[in-house]
Structure 1
Amino acid sequence: MTTRLSARAAIASVTDPGSFAELPVVPRESADDGPLGWTGYDASRARAAERTGEEESAVVGTALVGGRQVVLVAFEFGFLGGSLGERTGDRLEAAYGHAREHRLPLVSLIATGGSRMQEGMLALAQLQRVARQSVLTRAAGLPQIAVLRDPTTGGGWATLGAGADVVLALPGAQVGFAGSRVRPADADPAAYTAESQYAAGHVDAVVEPARLPGLLADWLRVLAAPRPAGPVEPPAALADVAPPADGWDAVRQARHPARPHAEAYLDAYFTLRLPLSGDRAGGTDPGMLCGFGLREGRAVAYAAQCGTATRPAGYRTAARVIRLADRLGIPVLTLVDTPGAANDAAAERAGAGAAIADTFAAVAAATVPVTTLLIGEGGSGGALALAAPGNTWATPDSYFSVIAPELAAAILKRPPSEAPATADQLRIRPQDLVALGVARGVVGPA
C-alpha cells in the first residue's frame, strides 16, 4: 500500500525529481551487538541493511519540494521497523542542525514502530535528544511539518509527529503512541488510525497520496512568503447594508440567516488558504476555522468564529494558531462571530474557562500584529477573547455586547418585550462601538 513505501520512494514521491541530496553522517563506533551486547543484534542490522539498502532506519538530506529547499527526514520501516537507536538519533540531530544552520523548514516522512529495544534505555533516550532538537528549531522560528505514514507509533509519534507545527497523515495509516503488539487486547483498532487522530484534533489533515506533493508545496509556499510589515487590513464588508438604526436592528441584522459568515469572508480575503484542525488535546470545533493563507502574496494566519457558540476546543485551536504565527513572525487576522462561549455541562467539563483564558493570553502576548473584524454577533467574553485590543473593526451588520439583550433584560427582571429597549441602552451598534473606542471603524463593501 502507498503508506508502506520505502524511505527513498517516499522522498521521491514528494520532492522535485533529482533534487534530493543525502546529508553525510559519520556512523558512531559500536561494540559488538550494540551497547547492550544483545546477541544477534549485529546480524539483524546486517540483514536489514541488505534487505533495504540502508545503513540505518532514517534517511536524512535536503531536497526541493515545489521548488523550495527543505531538510527531509524519511524513515525506512524495513530497517528494524523504522526503530530509533543511537545512530538514528545521530542522523536526526544532523538534520535538525542543518535546518537551523541554513534556515530551512524541516519535513519528516515518518514510519516507525518506536524505540529499538536491542539498545534499551539508550534508544529510549533518543526521544529526549529529538525533543531538544525540535525545541531549538522551534526557537529559531523555523517550521516543522510531519507526514504520518504507516505506521507512526511510539516515540516517533510522540516527538517528530505530534510535536510538529503542521501534522498531515496518509489515509489508513496506523497512528498512536501504542503499537499494535502492545495495546490492550480489547482495544478498538479504529482508534489508532490517522482518521481517528484527525477526528480527535491531533492531526491537521488526512491527505490522499496524490495530493500530498501539492499540499506540501502549498504549505512551504505560504510559510516562506513575505510577512506584511504591519497589521493587515480588515476584510471588506460582504453585505451592502446600512448601519443599524437602533440596537435591536443591529441584533436582527447580525442574526439574519442570510448574512455572510466566516467562510465567505475568508474565501474573499485569501488567494490560498490552508486549514489547521484540532486543539491537540482531544477536541475539534467546526465552528472555529483556523489556518494560514496568502493575502496579496503575503502570509497571514487566521482564526475565525462561524456564528455558533464556541467550544473549548475552538478556543484552544485558535490559541495554538496565534502562538504558532507569533513564533513564525506571521500577522494574524481574527473574525469574531459568536453568540457566546458554549456553556453546557460538556463545555464546562472540557475547560471552557481555561480555554477562553488561554485565548485571551495568546492574543495579549502576541508580538505580531493582530487585526480583528466583527462580522456578526459579538457575544460577551466568548467573543472578546478573539478581539485585538486597539485594532478591532466592525461590519455594518454586526453588534458587540457585554451580554445578549434578552439575557440583560432577564437579569434586570424586565419582561421579554423590553429586550429591544435594553439593546439600545447597551449601545451595541457598530457606530456605538466606534464612539466608545471599542472599534476603530466600520468597514464598507469593497
Structure 2
Amino acid sequence: MPERLSAREILALVADADSLRELPAPVRESKRDDGPLGWQGYDASRDRAAARTGEQESVVCGTARVGGTRAVLIAFEFGFLGGSLGERTGDRLEAAYTHAREHRLPVVPLIATGGSRMQEGMLALTQLQRVARQSALTREAGLPQIAVLRDPTTGGGWATLGAGADIVLALPGAQVGFAGSRVRPPGADPAAYTAESQLTAGSADAIVAPAELKGVLGRWLRLLSGREARVAPGVTPTDSAQPTALAPPSTQWATPAPTPEPAPVPGALGRGGLPGTGWEAVERARAAERPRAHAYLDAYFDDRLPISGDRCGGTDPDGMLCGFGERDGRTVAYAAQTGTATRPAGYRTAARLIRLADRLGIPVLTLVDTPGAANDAEAERQGVGAAVAEVFGAVAAARVPVTTLVIGEGGSGGALALAAPGNTWATPDSYFSVIAPELAAAILKRPPEEVRSTADQLRIRPQDLAELGVIRGVV
C-alpha cells in the first residue's frame, strides 16, 4: 500500500515555500446535535477525528504558488472520517471554487476520499451535485482544473473532482475507482481499481512519483494558466478571503481573454525539393527514414507535457500524440498523428484536447500523418466513425485558431478531420488524397500497373494541393 500523506503533508510537498494561504472556512450553524440526521455518536466521531488530525473537516483549502504559478489547492484529509464529503465539506469546496473564479486561479484538488459521509445520508450524497456545479462554473470561466489522485480516491470524489478534471495525475499504486474496497463485487480483480489501471483505460493522464509531483504540477499550471496566475518567485499574493454567509455561487468572472494568435507553422525537417510525380510523393511520405511526429514536436517546443486517454476506456499512444507545449513563452496545444492508422481512442483524445484548448484560449497545432483511420472490425466496434466525427466537430467549433501541417501521409477523412480549414500547410515529404492511390485504382477497377498513373490523376502532390487551394502553401 502506498504511503498516505496527510492534507498538510501533501500541501507542503507541492506548494512553494511560505506561499500557502489557507482560506477561511464558511460558518454553518448546526440545527441539531449529531448532524442533520441526528445520527447518534456523530458529534463524538467528528471530535475524535479533529483531535487525531488537527483538522476541523475533511478538506483543507487555500491558495499557494506551485512552481511560481498561483492556484487554489484543495487537500483532502483521509484521517478525518475517511476524507468523506458532508455538508460542511461542500461548504468549503464551494467557497474554494468561488474564490478561484473571483481571482482567476486554476484549481488543484489533491484527492484522498472514500466518498460520501454515511452519517449525513442523502444530504451528503447531494454534495456531489454541488461540487459538479462548481466544477462546471469554473470550466465555463475558462480556468483549468488539475486533479491529483492520492490513496484512496473512490466514490463520488473520483466521479466529480477526479474524473471531471481537465488533467488527471495520480500517485503510484493509489487505489482509484468508483467502487471502494468494501463495496466491490466478490472476487473483483483489485488490479482494476488502481491508478495504473485507470491510466491504461484512458481515465488518467500520468502516474507521477511524489518526489516529482511538485515539478510536474508546476509545469502543468504554467502551461494551462493565464499570465495573471503567474507570480514571480518571492512575491506574496495580496488577495485575501473573509468568512461569508452561505450564498448561491457567484457566476461572475472576468471577460475571457481575446482570441490568441495562431500557432506558428513548424519548419519542414525532411528532404527539400518537391516530388516530380504523384507516386513519388507517396513514396517519400511512406519512407521509413522520414521525420515523424516526435521529431517535429521536439524541434518545435521548448517544453511539453502529454495528455493520455479518451476518458471512454481507450488510449492510442502509438497513433496519436496529444498535449500542451511551450514555445517562445507561449502555450500551444498539439495533436499529432504518428504515421499509423489512427484508432478511435486517438481521435477521441484529439477531440478532448481541442475542446480543452478552446475553453482555455490556447491555440492548437495539428500534425497530419496517417494512411487513414483504422478500419478493422475492432475499430468499427469501438465507434471509429463517431470518433472521427468528434474531431471534425471539435475543429469546426473551435474559437481558437488551429494550425495544421501535413508531414507525411494524408489519407482520406481520417487525416482531413485534423486539418484546419483555411490554415493547412504541407511539407515536401507529404501527400493528401481522397483515398490511397492503390485503393482508388481498386475502386475504379484498374489493374495494379495503373496505380502510379492514378496517383498522378488524383493530384496529391504538395504543389498540386496548393494550386487547388486545398492548402495554403508548402513549407
Same fold (TM over 0.5): yes
State the distance in 2 between where 1:250 and 1:79 align: 64
1:369-398 superposed Cα distances (whole Å, 9 cap, x missing partner) = 000000000000000000000000000000
TM-score, reference length from structure 2: 0.92
Tell me the equivalent position of 1:29. Answer: 29
Tell me the equivalent position of 1:309. Answer: 341
Tell me the equivalent position of 1:219. Answer: 220
* 1:225–1:298 CA contact under 8 A, matched in 2: no
Tell me the equivalent position of 2:294. Answer: 263
Identity, % of aligned positions:
78
In the alignment, structure 1 segments of 5+ residues that lack a partner are none
Letter in 1 for 2:322: C
Letter in 2 for 1:355: A
State the distance in 1 between where 2:363 and 2:124 align: 40
CA drift at 1:3: 4.5
* 2:407–2:426 CA contact under 8 A, matched in 1: yes
State the distance in 2 between where 1:359 and 1:3 align: 40
Tell me the equivalent position of 1:93. Answer: 94
State the distance in 1 between where 2:309 and 2:294 align: 17
State the distance in 1 between where 2:136 and 2:348 align: 21
State the distance in 2 between where 1:126 and 1:394 align: 51
CA drift at 1:240: 2.9
CA drift at 1:241: 2.5
- Tell me the matched-pair count: 443
Tell me the equivalent position of 2:168. Answer: 167
* 1:291–1:301 CA contact under 8 A, matched in 2: yes
Instruction: Answer with 27-36 or 336-345: which moved more.
Output: 27-36
What secondary structure does 1:4 align onto? Answer: coil
Q: Which runs of 4+ in 1 moved over 6 A?
A: none
Tell me the equivalent position of 2:404. Answer: 372
1:306-354 superposed Cα distances (whole Å, 9 cap, x missing partner) = 0010011000000000000000000000000000000011110111110
Tell me the equivalent position of 1:249. Answer: 280
Tell me the equivalent position of 2:239. Answer: none
RMSD after superposition? 1.1
Mapping of 1:9-408 within 5 angstroms?
9-30=9-30, 31-224=32-225, 229-286=260-317, 287-408=319-440
State the distance in 2 between where 1:84 and 1:251 align: 58
State the distance in 1 between where 2:158 and 2:113 align: 8
* 2:403–2:420 CA contact under 8 A, matched in 1: yes
State the distance in 2 between where 1:225 and 1:379 align: 36
Letter in 1 for 2:443: I
* 2:144–2:225 CA contact under 8 A, matched in 1: no
What secondary structure does 2:366 align onto? Answer: strand
Q: In 2 relative to 1, CA 137–3 (structure 1 residues): closer, same or farther, beyond 3 Å?
A: farther
TM-score, reference length from structure 1: 0.98
CA drift at 1:68: 1.6
Tell me the equivalent position of 2:245. Answer: none
State the distance in 2 between where 1:340 and 1:437 align: 22
What secondary structure does 1:423 align onto? Answer: helix
State the distance in 1 between where 2:466 and 2:369 align: 18
CA drift at 1:269: 0.2
1:172-230 superposed Cα distances (whole Å, 9 cap, x missing partner) = 00000000000001110000000000000000000111111000111111123669842
What secondary structure does 2:60 align onto? Answer: strand
1:259-298 superposed Cα distances (whole Å, 9 cap, x missing partner) = 0000100000000101000000000001100010111110
